[in-house]
Amino acid sequence: MHWSSLRLETERLWLRPPRGEDFDGFAAFLGDEVATEHLGGAMTPAAAWRSLATIVGSWELQGFAMFSVFEKASGEWVGRVGPWRPYQWPGPEVGWSIRRASWGRGYAPEAAAAAMDWAFEVLGWDEVIHTIGPDNHKSKAVAAKLGSAFLRMDELPAPHAGKAVEVWGQSRQQWRGRKR
C-alpha cells in the first residue's frame, strides 16, 4: 500500500497523509499567532505552503510524517499529528498541533495515541519522544496523558538551533503496558 492511501481512525477523528486540498486549514492554523506560539510563531501563507510541502516530502522520503487530522462529525481539518524525524532530530517523535478552535476537546491525545500505535506497530519504532518547549504546559499535559515522562533536555537542529526543549517519551514496552 502506498502511503497516500493510508488512513487511521479513532472514535472521533480520522488521520491521513496531507494533500494539497488541506492547505487552507493548514495555512489558517500556521497563521494563528496563539496556536503557533510554541512552534516558532505565525507563518505567512507562503511559509505555510513550504511547511506543508516539507511534511509531504517527508512522507515520500521516509514513509512517515505528520498526518492531517479531521473531525469525523464535521469533516473539518483540525490539526497535524504524527511521527516526525527530520535530519538530526533528537529522536523519533510523535508530535501534535491542533487548531485553536478545536482546543480543549481531547483531540491531541486521541490522535497522538493512534499515531503512536502506528509508529510502534507499523514503523517498528522502539521509542517515541515528544520535543516540548519548557513553557508549553499544555503539551506537557498531553504527553503525560499519553503516559510519557520527562527524559532529558536537548536542542533542536537548524533552523531551530539553540532552542532548548524538554524531551518526553516512552518505550514500546511502556506503551504496550499502559494499554493493558
pLDDT digits (tens, 9 = 90+) for 108-137: 999 999 999 999 999 999 999 999 999 999
pLDDT of residue 179: 63
Which is higher by pLDDT, 114 or 2?
114
In angstroms, how far is CA 84 from the centroid of its own chain? Answer: 7
Q: How far apart are CA 166 and CA 168, in angstroms?
A: 6
- What is the number of domains present in the chain? 1
Amino acid at 15: L
User: Which band of pLDDT confidence, cut at 50, 70 and 90, is reported for residue 79?
Assistant: very high
- Residue 158 is predicted with a pLDDT of 83
The CATH number given to whatever domain includes residue 134 is 3.40.630.30
Neighbour order of strands in the sheet with 8-9:
8-9, 13-16, 67-71, 77-84, 93-98, 127-132, 164-171, 149-155
- CA-CA distance, 157 to 62, in Å (whole number)? 18
| Cell reading at 33 | 499567532
User: Range of 115's domain?
Assistant: 3-178
Q: Tell me which of 15 and 43 has the higher pLDDT.
A: 15
pLDDT level of residue 1 (50, 70, 90 thresholds): low
Q: What average pLDDT does range 7-20 have in this prediction? A: 96
Taking only the tens place, the pLDDT of each residue in 154-168 is 999 887 777 889 999
